[in-house]
Amino acid sequence: MKKESTIIIKKCLGCGSVMQNEDNSKVGYVPYEHIEEADYCQRCFKLKNYNEKVMNEVLVDENEVIDIVNKSNKYAFFLVDFLNISNETINTYKKISIDKTLVISKSDLIFRDIKLDKVKENLKNIYNLDDNIIFLSSKKNYNINTIFAILKKNNKKSSYILGYTNAGKSTLINSLKNDNQILESSVPNTTLDFINIKINDFEIIDTPGFNLKNTFYKDKEYELIKKMNPVYFVSPMNYQVKDNQIFLIEDRLFLKGFDNNNITFYISNLIRIKKIYKDEDIIYKEIDIDDNSDVVISSLGFINVKKKCKLLVNEELFDLINIRKSIFN
Ligand SMILES: Nc1nc2c(ncn2[C@@H]2O[C@H](COP(=O)(O)OP(=O)(O)OP(=O)(O)O)[C@@H](O)[C@H]2O)c(=O)[nH]1
Ligand SMILES: [Mg+2]
């Protein structure tokens, strides 16, 4: 009798892509001689063991992810790290139509004396949110088991972990499972496809991160991206600004027009902020700032500005900026 042939589809444990041995320029590639025993594709193996940054071609696009999630009857946790709360990230969160919780991840980065309940209240008002919001830190194991508590309360066994790239989705799942199977890294788009993980009675599904339309970093600026992703607690940097002071961030973002003001940067402490007095040839665009507002810089963080002013931002990076009421007020 003829034996039926079976094709075994094997997925990389690190990024979720289907392994293949045909094209080493495509995701999931494993050399032929290793394909049987390999748990990780070549790209993940290199990233995990040699920190070598290679190929991050997401396999499912943003709309597909949202579509799959919205057609399911699972639960959704949407992670946004504290420095990345913006109109864009929250608008994507709002596109999720199944039961969900907004998770402010990496709360170990948040200064110790902050009143989380107050911030939660402010976030609800500013972004017009009425769902549950929680804070957690996978690095410090703070509040992570709330994930299971919420699933139990909602009678759900299965949940997607969603969010923009680098929000900490894979790190959270590894912490919940107490291992490090899924690849975590500050390289954008580490996770390339859905990865289903069983933890006790639950199924937790990692997903490829969404990508911001505009970022402070350019493609492949891995060193800068690493600096932008704080590992430890972010110490707020406060400045008493005098008239014509110009702030230059990492030699690319020019900000001026604060007048006499009190401003505080909430960005990674590894990012260079210079005060300069000359800015010849820079073309600016203007934006109105109200008393006690946050100037949100997409992908980088935000600046709290105490007094009303007309802020000038160099034209090339103007699209990174949006303004909101202070989340601390
Ligand atoms: N300080 C701090 N850093 C964290 C935490 N969780 C994750 N990170 C860091 O954030 C970076 C991104 O983490 P990942 O878990 O790979 O993020 P992701 O959301 O899975 O990213 P993609 O797979 O690219 O969508 C890594 O450098 C992590 O070490 C946390 O709780 N605190
Ligand atoms: Mg990931």
Which residues, other chains included, contact 222 with Cβ-Cβ below 8 Å and sequence gap of 6+? 53, 186, 187
Please give the pLDDT value at position 55. Answer: 63
The domain ranges of the chain are 1-52, 62-206, 237-325
List the one residue out of 173, 171, 239 whose CA is nearest residue 202: 173
Ligand 1: distance of its center to the CA of 75 in Å?
Answer: 21
Asked if the model's pLDDT at residue 59 lies above 80, the reply is: no
CB of residue 326 inside a 6 A radius of ligand 1: no
Give ∠ CA 96-84-174 in degrees, rounded to 5. Answer: 70
- The CA distance from 83 to 266, in Å, is 7
In terms of pLDDT, which residue wins out, 208 or 9? 208
Ligand 2: distance of its center to the CA of 80 in Å?
Answer: 13
* Three-class SS state of 143: coil
Ligand 1: distance of its center to the CA of 34 in Å?
Answer: 29
In terms of pLDDT, which residue wins out, 113 or 134? 134
151 bridge partner residues: none
- The CA distance from 53 to 22, in Å, is 21
Please give the pLDDT value at position 8. Answer: 66
> What average pLDDT does the structure give for the chain?
92
Ligand 2: distance of its center to the CA of 192 in Å?
Answer: 8
What's the alpha-carbon Rg for the chain, to the nearest Å? 22
- Out of 79-83, 114-118, 150-154, pick the least confident: 114-118
Mutate to test the pocket of ligand 1, among 103, 142, 166, 191 (most ligand atoms within 8 A of CB): 166
Please give the pLDDT value at position 104. Answer: 96
Mutate to test the pocket of ligand 1, among 184, 227, 267 (most ligand atoms within 8 A of CB): 184
List the one residue out of 221, 220, 223, 206 whose CA is nearest residue 56: 220
Note the CATH number of domain 62-206.
Answer: 3.40.50.300
CB of residue 174 inside a 6 A radius of ligand 1: no
Convert the pLDDT of each residue in 202-216 to its tens digit.
999 999 999 999 999
Q: Residue 163: nearest ligand to its CA?
A: 1
In terms of pLDDT, which residue wins out, 257 or 26? 257
On whether the CB atoms of residues 276 and 244 are closer than 8 A, the answer is no
On whether the CB atoms of residues 306 and 291 are closer than 8 A, the answer is yes
List the one residue out of 273, 279, 287, 282 whose CA is nearest residue 324: 287
For residue 319, name the pLDDT band (cuts at 50, 70, 90): very high
Convert the pLDDT of each residue in 278-289 to its tens digit.
898 999 999 999
Shortest-distance Cα residue to atom 12 of ligand 1: 166
In terms of pLDDT, which residue wins out, 226 or 60? 226
Relative to the CA of 230, which ligand 1 atom is closest? Answer: 1
List the one residue out of 66, 269, 76, 72 whose CA is nearest residue 160: 76
Please give the pLDDT value at position 5. Answer: 54
Q: What is the pTM of this model?
A: 0.94
CB of residue 165 inside a 6 A radius of ligand 1: yes
Give me the amino acid identity at 107: S
Q: Residue 172: nearest ligand to its CA?
A: 1
